[in-house]
Every structure is written in C-alpha cells, then in structure tokens.
Amino acid sequence: MIWNVEEFTRAAGVTVERLAAYVEESQRGLPPVVARRPPRELAERLGLARWIREGGMTPEGYAGFLAVYLAEGTRLHHPASLGHQVASPDFPAALADFVHGAANNPMAIYEMGASAATVEFEVLRWMLDKAGYGETGGGVLTHGGSLANLTALLAARAAAAPRAWTDGVPADLALLAPESAHYSLTRAAAILGLGERAVMPLDTDPLGRIDVARLPAALERVRRAGRRPMALVANACSTGTGLYDDLRGIGAFCAAHGVWFHVDGAHGASALLSAGHRRLLDGIELADSMIWDAHKMLRTSSLAAAVLTRREGDLDAAFRQRASYLFYGDQGFDLIGRTVECSKAELGLKVFLNLAWRGERGLGDYVARQYAAAHRLWELGRERPGFTFPYEPESNIVCFRYGAGDQAEIRERLMDEGAFHLTSAEIGGVRHLRATVMAPATDDKTLEALLDRIAGA
C-alpha cells in the first residue's frame, strides 16, 4: 500500500500534539512518574487484541490509543524520574528517530544511505577528537553499550590472538575487570568464547574502584594461573555507584605491561564535554579502546553507542584479518565490517542533531548540571537524620540508605505512589537506594521532596 500522504500528515500532527502535551506535563511533574498497571489489564485498556485482529486505525483512533499508551508508560522528562541511566531525550534526537522511521537508510553500506553514513563518520571523528585519539583513531556506532563492549573486546581478542577468528579461541586468555564492571563485559567474555571463568577480578577499594597499587599482584595471579591478559577493563564511570576509576594510573600500568586497556565510558564519557568534569577522564587517551553511549548522557533515545579505538586498524581487525577497506573517496565508505549488525539504524543523525541544536557546549552544560544535581542531593541528604551516603558522588549517580530497614521496600513504596522512580544497587553486599539524575527538570525542590517522601514526612 502506498502512503496516503494526507493521512500521514494528519497522523504525524496528532503525534506531535500528543508528544508535546506529554513532555510538557511530564516536565512540570504533574502526572505520576511511573505507571504500573498489570500487563493483562493494560493490553485490554489499549485495545491491543482488537487492533491486531481488525486493523483499521485512523488518525482519530490513533490519537486515543497514543494518549493511553503514553499515560501508561514511564516519564523520563519528569523531575522525579531518578531511576535508570536512560536518557531524557532532547527533541532534535527525537526528530532524527522520526526521520529514520520514514526514510530508513539503514547504513550497512554507503550506497544505502550516503547522508546517514557521512553523518555517522563526522560524529565519530568528533568523538575521537574528544577522546584524544585524533586522526589515527577508529570508530563505529552500534546499537548500545553492550554490543559496543563486545565489539571492543573482539578487537582486543584479535590483537591478543590474531588467529582466533579462523582457528578458535586459545584457552589461556584472561579478561581483567573489577566486579563493579557492567555485566555486559562478563557476557562478552562468554560470547567471545573465553568463558566466564576467564574473567579475573581486579582488587578494588570498598566502593568498587580499581586499586592501582594492586595491579601488579593481579597480573601475577593471571600469570600463575597460566593465562595471558587479553584486556583490562576500567569503569568511567561504574554503573552502580557512578564513580570513576583512575584511568591515568591504570593506563600507565597497562602501557608498561603491554596489556590492552579498555575503558567502559558508556555512561561517563560524556563528561569529556564539561570543562569542570573532564579531569574525571584524565588518561582516557591511554586506552586502546573505549565505549561511549549517546543514549545516556548525550540525550538521544536508545540506542546509539560508539566504539572507539586508539588505532584505527585495531577496530578493522575485530571482524576480519585483512586491512581496512574504509575509504573516503568517490565511492564513499562502508563501516559494515566493524559491527555485529548488518543493517543498522541512522544512529549518527540523532547524535548530530542534538549537537547541531545545543552545540558541544550545550551538551557539556547539561552534563555539568546533572552531575551538580546529584552532588546537591548528597549535600541535602547528609544533613538529614537517618540518611547515610557511602561516598561523595562524582557523576549524576548517587547511592544512599535511609534507616536500617529494607531499602527495596522504600523503593517499592515510592513507585507504587507514582511519586519517584529510584533504582537500587549493592555496595559491598549492602543494598542501597540509587538515584540517577537524568531529567533537566529535576531541581532542588524535587530533591527535598524526595528526601521528605523517603523519610515519610
């Protein structure tokens, strides 16, 4: 069926109107931040079975559907949205998703989307420059940080065991990572054929930060176990606590011992854009590879993640042994050789449009503001009886406890009330409440209200 362009225009208008109202009321904190209707009831309310069976949606029917759909979801623009590290998307990125949905230039090869591929290329060059890799670095955008970590470790595997792609994986490879590393790294080790047991934990401080002084001992353990380090992973920042590892210290150690250094900057690499926070990533240019999610702190929808390597050839080696066929001539270039995916979405466009609208400066200011808000929660909470904070936050993630009781129960209560969306994390085996300040609408009033609500005032 060809598009009825008049119908499309009306339906798109409905979408814009509904979304505008949705974001407006969310930003003002009017409706509940999360809805928790049971799935069966929700399917009924949305009329899913009937729509699937009968079809026949019109712009009017769609308007009604969309209103319920949005109202029954989770509101990431809401000031009380303090749960997961999922972006509160900015509208230029939302426009990019819309454009992609209609134009669908899937970017597997240059001829399937010259503009999309060129935008991705330039966005990557910008990211490489920010990371300090410059002209000699390589990059690719992929669907999410988990896939990005897998891709970076594949490059590390190709460096440590160049024949693994054709002959299989040697049994002696090890991946060194702190237990605070994101679970996608252990998964990647399993997917890459190393096996979970090849992940050897690094010594950390009680907050899960890599203990640089104990790195030689870790390397010695790996060697005594008859293994070779394939890569060492550091957090920038860690998912649970939002704390950064000492990248310069770790990077220097890795360089001295010829160990591939991978930095998981999924959440925290965006601090490179804030003059006041760039020091947290000091030493990142020493990393052999890093990842950086745009769908966390660059305010794009899920998913858009970058894999960056200090040497371009390392990334090309990830999926094959021959040299790069990437070129920037009359025929364009193909990045398909650098990803797990064949087709992929126009990921560069959403990063680009946010940059084009807000500027690097605007995105940096956003990061600085959100990091400051988490710090503010720490300042305000510390003064109140019953609240304990195990550390001063470095990013927009902060963990704390209220009282000695079950913290998960507090979280459940807040979510049932629709008042606040928090998550929780274990630190040293103790469950903490965890706030991630993603929405620009979160202010001091929100944070005071959160502390009031937790304390039951």
Ligand X SMILES: *Cc1c(COP(=O)(O)O)cnc(C)c1O
Nearest to ligand X of 305, 318 (CB atom): 305
- Give least dist CB 208 to ligand X, A: 12
Torsion of CA 331, 337, 343, 347, to 10 degrees: -80
Rounded CA-CA distance 304/442 in Å is: 24
With contacts defined by CB under 6 A, name the span among 167-175, 197-205, 259-267, 321-329 that binds ligand X: 259-267
Q: How far is the CB of 398 from ligand X (least distance, A)?
A: 15
Site map (CB under 6 A) of ligand X, residues 167-206, x = contact: ---------------x-x----------------------
Instruction: Specify the residue, 87 or 174, whose C-beta has the smaller distance to ligand X.
Output: 87
Written as one string, the DSSP assignment of 173-211 is: EEEEE-TTS-HHHHHHHHHTTS-GGGEEEPPB-TTS-B-
Q: Within 10 Å of residue 4's Cβ, how many Cβ atoms?
A: 10
Q: Which is nearer to ligand X, 347 or 454 (CB)?
A: 347
Q: What is the x/- site pattern for ligand X, positions 378-397, by CB under 6 A? A: --------------------
Stretch of residues binding ligand X (CB under 6 A), selected from 66-74, 119-127, 262-270, 445-453: 262-270
User: Tokens 């710090």 label which residue?
Assistant: 375
Q: Which of 423, 437, 144, 439 is nearest to 302 (CA)?
A: 144
In the complex, least distance from residue 21 CB atom to ligand X, rounded to whole angstroms = 29
Minimum distance of ligand X from residue 301's CB (angstroms):
11
Between residue 203 and residue 242, which ones bind ligand X under the rule CB under 6 A?
235, 239
From candidates 120, 293, 312, 394, binder to ligand X by CB under 6 A? 293
When binding is defined by CB under 6 A, the residue of 88, 146, 180, 301 that contacts ligand X is: 146
Count of residues of this chain found to bind ligand X when the rule CB under 6 A is applied:
15
- Residues 71-90 touching ligand X, rule: CB under 6 A, are 85
Side-chain-side CA neighbours of 436 within 13 Å: the count stands at 24
Q: Mask of contacts with ligand X, 236-255, x by CB under 6 A? A: ---x----------------
Cβ-based neighbours of 332, under 8 Å, separated by 6 or more: 110, 111, 114, 117, 118
For ligand X, the closer of residues 63 and 86 by Cβ is: 86
From candidates 29, 83, 145, 393, binder to ligand X by CB under 6 A? 145
Identify which range of 139-147, 156-164, 276-284, 428-436 contacts ligand X by CB under 6 A.
139-147
Query: Between 164 and 318, whose beta carbon lies closer to ligand X?
Result: 318
- In angstroms, what is the minimal distance from the CB of 149 to ligand X? 6
Q: Report, in angstroms and rounded to the nearest whole number, the Rg of the chain calculated over CA atoms.
A: 23
Q: Tell me the torsion sign for CA atoms 356, 276, 449, 301.
A: positive
> Residue 86: what residue type?
V
Which CB, 235 or 309, lies closer to ligand X?
235
The binder of ligand X chosen from 141, 152, 215, 266 (CB under 6 A):
266
229: left (phi over 0), alpha (psi -120 to 50) or beta: beta
Q: Is the peptide bond before 303 cis (omega within 30 degrees of 0)?
A: yes
144 binds ligand X (CB under 6 A): yes
Q: Are the C-beta atoms of 271 and 97 separated by less than 8 Å? A: no
Q: Nearest approach, Cβ of 434 to ligand X (angstroms)?
A: 12
Q: Which of 174, 247, 273, 305 is close enough to bind ligand X by CB under 6 A?
A: 305
Stretch that binds ligand X, among 57-65, 66-74, 143-151, 223-231 (CB under 6 A): 143-151
Q: How many CB atoms lie within 10 A of CB 136?
A: 11
- 168 torsion bin: left (phi>0), alpha (psi -120 to 50), beta (else): left
Backbone angles phi, psi at 244, to 5 degrees: -95, 140
Span of 138-146, 216-224, 282-290, 345-353 interacting with ligand X by CB under 6 A: 138-146
Residues of the chain by 3-state class (helix, strand, coil), percent to 5: 50, 15, 35
Phi–psi pair at 273, nearest 5 degrees: -90, -10
Asked whether position 267 contacts ligand X by CB under 6 A, the answer is yes
Q: Which residues contact 300 (CB under 8 A, 6 or more apart)?
A: 87, 89, 90, 93, 96, 294, 350, 351, 354
Binding site for ligand X (CB under 6 A): 85, 144-146, 149, 182, 184, 235, 239, 264, 266-267, 293, 303, 305
